[in-house]
Amino acid sequence: VPAGKRRHALTMARRPAPIDIWGDPSVGRALSRALDVSQTGEDALHRYTHGFHVYPARMHPLTARRALGLLGLGPGALVLDPFCGSGTVLVEAMLAGARAVGVDAGPIAKLVAHAKTRLVSASARRELVTAARRLAALVVAEGKAARRAGYEAPGPRAFPDVDPVKREERLRGWFDPHVRRELEALAATIAREKDPGLRAILEAILSSILIKMSRRSSDTSGEPVARRLARGMAARLFAERAELLAAGLGALADDVPPGTPAAEVRAGDARALEKAGIIPGSVAGVVSSPPYAGTYDYVDHHALRMWFLGLPQAGLDDAEIGARRHFHGPAAAVATALVGWERAFLKTLGEISRALAPGGRAALLVGDSLAGMGLASRAVFIDDVIGRLAPRADLALVAAASQARVALGTWEQRAFADRPKREHLVLLERPRE
Ligand SMILES: C[S@@+](CC[C@H](N)C(=O)[O-])C[C@H]1O[C@@H](n2cnc3c(N)ncnc32)[C@H](O)[C@@H]1O
């Protein structure tokens, strides 16, 4: 089953499934309210900047908001998401008046989470929209000029960290030629923008339209699709996305409690948080969704975006935990990969524990998963894993809520035949000394 088909199952049940609670009953009930977002409409998914950029295994904003509510945060408390992805938790933490810090190993995560959490004035938001419209108009004009005789195309962009020959190889065939020309023109024009803050936001906007403008069906599925994309469409969509982001940033700026800073987003490895600038004992609370074992592969999901935008992927390639690509091969290889993944998970829990102040809490959204493929595949029951590993990381298990998720495809159904596949929201606490 292509991972794309599973995407929604990770955060939303198709119809409400019963929830089991473990541990402290009142915390368990609150966790279950945070986990069960099946009855909520689309609105929360798109409010603020949440709907700006698709992201595989994005957390539901209401889960993030309700989980943050369980951390007992005081005003200005430091909240960390060590797997921040597209920044859902960071946006919600800002709305709760916290100082939000996100860490992620992937460059697309950093780009998107940063853009979604800027606190910008109304005039700067207008400037963003004006700049995007100007860029789009330039690109359309350029496209018209390109169709005239004697036109000389501008030279290719230079990327400090990316081999242009490899880039060309990776991108070949993934875009209609006229769309590719438009996207490259947008990227080249963005690269000339002098203000680095504005440039970073414009790049995130470009990233937000790339897959829609490509022949790849989605981030999680590499299936080629044919799309009929008119000339000028990429430029038009780019300008529209800028408007959407500016509106979302406006709503965020309006609703964030006074004095709340913009989130900080750092490139880093959740297994080495101090290296990512997180001071041990400084964090009041953590909300995060660590990668599931063998479900996603962010190097693959974001390959087209990273190659197009000239972003280095080596860091993610080395650091990514739980990636599907680690679980290829026979049963013995899957077993070895699981040992490595558990070691990485334990390291992460240890780092979360070290980052937390005594008494600090961590709410983790985790899912059972199928590791490996075909006959070699097997179920991973993540609640068992956390139960075993948390005490070794000096974290006490306060409560958990678990809700069944649909097992998709033959192998998953087989692996979860005797015990349902579930998603869990787990609350851990660093004991007071
Ligand atoms: C389930 S996603 C998080 C999604 C996020 N909650 C959101 O709403 O967008 C998991 C993230 O973990 C990141 N990741 C994987 N291994 C990592 C590591 N060792 N350190 C930091 N981030 C990592 C991936 O790049 C991915 O963005």
- Nearest to 91, CA basis, from 122, 59, 121: 59
Query: What integer pLDDT is reported at residue 377 of this predicted model?
Result: 96
Q: Can you tell me the mean pLDDT for 40-44?
A: 74
In the numeric block, which tokens belong to residue 87? 């920044």
Q: Name the residue at shortest CA distance from atom 3 of ligand 1.
A: 85
pLDDT band, residue 1 (cuts 50/70/90): very low
Distance (angstroms) between ligand 1 centre and the Cα of 253 equals: 25
Query: What integer pLDDT is reported at residue 155 of this predicted model?
Result: 64
| Of the listed ranges 11-15, 307-311, 354-358, the one predicted with least confidence | 11-15
pLDDT at residue 9 greater than cutoff 90: no
Q: Using one digit for the tens of pLDDT, what is the confidence trace for 370-411?
A: 999 999 999 999 999 999 999 999 999 999 999 999 998 999
CA angle 272, 277, 278 (to 5 degrees): 75
Ligand 1 pocket test, candidate residues 6, 48, 62, 83, most atoms within 8 A of CB:
83
* 356-367, strands of its sheet edge to edge: 19-23, 396-404, 422-429, 356-367, 283-288, 78-81, 99-104, 264-267
Separation of alpha carbons 157 and 151, rounded Å? 18
Ligand 1 pocket test, candidate residues 112, 317, 320, most atoms within 8 A of CB:
320
Q: Can you tell me the mean pLDDT for 186-202?
A: 94
Distance (angstroms) between ligand 1 centre and the Cα of 289 equals: 7
Query: What integer pLDDT is reported at residue 156 of this predicted model?
Result: 65
Q: Is 422 helix (H, G, I), strand (E, B) or coil?
A: strand
pLDDT at residue 334 greater than cutoff 50: yes
pLDDT band, residue 154 (cuts 50/70/90): low
Q: What does the buried/exposed string (b/e) look like for 196-206 if buried means 16 or more CB atoms within 10 Å of the residue's CB?
A: eebebbbbbbb
- Mean pLDDT over each residue of the chain, to the nearest integer: 92
Separation of alpha carbons 277 and 263, rounded Å? 14
